[in-house]
Amino acid sequence: MSSTAIITDRNGVEGCRYPPPLASHEDVVKDPTLFWDTLRNFHSELGTKYMVPVIGGKELNLHVLYVEVTKRGGFDKVVSEKKWREISSVFMFSPTTTSASYALRKHYFSLLHHYEQVYFFKLQGPLISSTATGTIDGKFDCGYLVSVKVGSEILNGVLYYPDQAGSSISASQGCTAIIPYNPKPVHSGRRSRRRRGGDPGRPKPNRSGYNFFFAEKHSMLKSLYPEREREFTKMIGESWSNLSQEDRMVYQSYGLKDKERYQREMKEYKEGIKLKAAM
């Protein structure tokens, strides 16, 4: 399955024009207070949401982030030269913050990218369109697997249906994974190894970052090369080995989130058992 897809980031600013700058780039770099004032005013003028993000339990210093990115030529150049990891080292995040580079890139794009166009590149007029063209590589119950070209980069990802993205649907209803993978059961002549009498209310065990990567790639490969399914494990393993540390951290962060989910649900599960025993 492969068809062309056009994706547009509206971000609540469709049809808007850039507001004029209230200070020079040099001034907002030198004066953090001026930076914050102009940034708040900028989002207010555009009518976009503005909130200081938190990474590793601490508020992200957007002024430092803006300075570090613009001194390297701006967002697009940092992306093309893969310098997010270098920038993340400036913040000295905790070693447990495994997806810092990814988080910095996401927050910069949503909060500072348009601001950069006005204050760093001195653009005026209509907002730059965030439109990307790519292909739909596969379809599953919750959405589509896509490949998108943004600038010089080709990115692979998942598009969810609006009514399911980010929802908290139970495991029995599907779409519980960050990157869902619900293979159809294969019935063979062998006896099932599933334990009988297990508690259906027991939380589903957490999955590792590699498990999430495997699920995403397996679903994609199955839609592209259904006749080569025996080779998928080897192909996925090689793809995982070739991932950059930054890209691998994205999947590892999925694993950490799922581990937190499992620990939380297991705690509630055990408390429920104690409560029933006490009754």
User: Parallel, antiparallel, or unpaired for β 130-140 and 3-9?
Assistant: antiparallel
The rounded percent of the chain whose pLDDT value lies above 90 is 25
110: left (phi over 0), alpha (psi -120 to 50) or beta: alpha
Query: Would you write out the chain's pLDDT as a tens digit for each of its 279 residues?
Result: 445 544 444 444 555 788 999 999 999 999 999 999 999 999 999 888 888 888 877 889 999 999 999 999 999 999 989 999 899 999 988 776 667 888 899 899 989 999 999 999 998 877 765 555 677 766 655 667 777 765 556 667 677 665 443 443 333 344 433 344 444 444 445 554 554 456 778 888 998 989 988 888 887 777 777 788 888 888 888 888 888 888 888 888 888 988 998 999 889 888 888 888 877
Residue with tokens 């708040």: 40
| Rounded Cα–Cα distance for residues 65 and 67 (Å) | 5
HSE-CB of 167 using CA atoms within 13 angstroms: 14
Closest by CA position to 16, among listed 44, 40, 51, 52: 44
Closest CA to 62 of 27, 26, 113, 117: 113
Say which residues have a Cβ less than 8 Å from residue 167's Cβ, sequence separation at least 6: 175
According to the model, what pLDDT value does residue 122 have?
92
Answer left, alpha or beta for residue 131, where phi above 0 means left and psi between -120 and 50 means alpha: beta
135: which strand partners? 4, 147
The pLDDT of residue 160 is 65
Backbone angles phi, psi at 80, to 5 degrees: -65, -35
Per-position b or e across 160-190, b if 16+ CB within 10 A of its CB: beeeeeeeeeeeeeebbbbbbbeeeeeeeee
Report the chain's terminal Cα–Cα distance, integer Å.
Answer: 55
One-letter identity of residue 198: G
Determine the pLDDT at residue 152. 58
Other C-beta atoms lying within 10 Å of the C-beta of residue 142: 22
Q: Residue 119 in contact with residue 43, Cβ under 8 Å? A: no
In tens, the pLDDT along 145-198 reads 777 765 556 667 677 665 443 443 333 344 433 344 444 444 445 554 554 456
Gap between the Cα atoms of 200 and 175, Å rounded: 18
Sequence-separated (6 or more) residues with CB below 8 Å from residue 66:
28, 29, 35, 108, 112, 115, 116
Q: For the segment 239-267, what is each residue's pLDDT rounded down to a tens digit? A: 888 888 888 888 888 889 889 989 998 89
CA-wise closest residue to 84 among 99, 102, 107: 102
What pLDDT does residue 171 have? 35
